[in-house]
Amino acid sequence: MGKGVAITGMGIISAIGNNVAENYDALINERKGITRVDNIETIQRSEIMVGEVKFTNDELIAQLNLPPENNYSRTAMLGVIAAKEAIASAGITDIKKYKTGIVSGTSVGGMDMTEKYYYEYLTEKEPQKYIESHHAGDSTQKIAEQLGIEESLVTTISTACSSAANAIMLGARLIKSRKLDRVVVGGADCLSKFTINGFKTLMILSDTFNTPFDENRKGLNLGEAAAFLVLESDAVVKAENKKVLAYVKGYGNANDAFHQTASSDNGDGATLAMEKALRVADLKASEIDYINAHGTATGNNDLSEGRAILRIFGEEMPEFSSTKAYTGHTLAAAGAIEAVYSVLALQNNIIFPNLNFKTPMKEFSMIPQTELKKKELNTVLSNSLGFGGNCSTVIFSKEA
């Protein structure tokens, strides 16, 4: 087997919980976080459903003890909350003791601040305070500052829906190559008018609960969330006598170069990514115990991903499910959200159900796991598949 990279801490905030424990409780009790839009003034409010973190921006500011006048985007604030939980979970009290970096994925970035600039630049005396937070790297920089990561690698990945999975992949490679001793990896994205209207234009939003892998799926529910994992080298784990939650065992990404906003019908990119992840992990397809599928409930994704899974696993397909019916599609954060869920599945030997499923797709006979199931798990494959230009998948294992 390939040598894995240790996961020693996790943190998350999503529509179903404000920390890891709350998320797990919602998952095992099949409690969805999909509602109508509450925190954003939008003409789409009655037309779509979303996975929204219920804290207002003012409540997040108070929770983080930020001054009232600040230029933290909602993405940055969600990211700080999740990253701080991950650091605490890993038992880290001195961030500078080892060479530590952060790799964070985002697609929305500070767009919510840019929207304020758009509405207020003619009337506000200092509207530039909003635009300073626009770029994707700003949220990563603010998370790094809050964690005290100042002298090492601080970088951002923005590859649409596979961003956080690619962040995990890069973090693992940085540790394997001994460039860093510890890397905080994950992603954060908030809801904004820009994303709501953009996906509405793509005509892939649902006006009801999303139904992954169902023949009658209508589209996705956008979500907002942040999640981070702490990856550490064997040397740090040994020196600090760290408890290891799981290992990043394999990873792969691929570009099927099919379309700007769609994956290929046969799942070429997803197939290549899964093949690479298995090769890096030195595992056979038959050794995967559970697949946390990307499963966005869009016509294109579920068909493309389903065909890719069939190409890899054939008759040896393990149970699979999508957890996006709980949280919505959290875009760049999705790979990190589902990484946390994959580790929770491993730790508790539980397969989380694919909620809302009723009718199998006509193209194949694949049926997701629809009920909470206890099963001895050793390896979990987690798919994050961006638009046609990028695909990524990660394997998590109990063993190094």
329 catalytic? Reply is yes
Please answer whether residues 137 and 144 qualify as being in contact, where contact means their C-beta atoms are separated by less than 8 angstroms: no
> What is the C-alpha separation between 393 and 384, in angstroms, rounded?
6
134 catalytic? Reply is no
> What is the C-alpha separation between 34 and 39, in angstroms, rounded?
13
Name the active-site residue from 134, 135, 190, 294. Answer: 294
Please answer whether residues 184 and 149 qualify as being in contact, where contact means their C-beta atoms are separated by less than 8 angstroms: yes
Name the active-site residue from 161, 190, 259, 391. Answer: 161
In 179-201, which positions are buried (b, 16+ CB within 10 angstroms) versus exposed (e)? Answer: ebbbbbbbbbbbbbbebbeebbe
For helices 136-147 and 74-89, angle between their N-to-C axes, nearest 10 degrees: 40
Alpha-helical regions (H) of the chain: 20-28, 57-63, 74-89, 111-120, 128-131, 136-147, 163-176, 193-201, 234-240, 268-281, 299-313, 324-327, 334-348
Name the active-site residue from 134, 190, 329, 391. Answer: 329
Helix (H) or strand (E) holding 51: strand 50-51
The residue type of 214 is D
> What is the C-alpha separation between 284 and 278, in angstroms, rounded?
7
Instruction: Please state, in angstroms and as integers, the Cα–Cα distance from residue 74 to each residue in 138, 250, 356, following that order.
Output: 11, 32, 30
> What is the C-alpha separation between 267 and 301, in angstroms, rounded?
9
Active site residues: 161, 294, 329
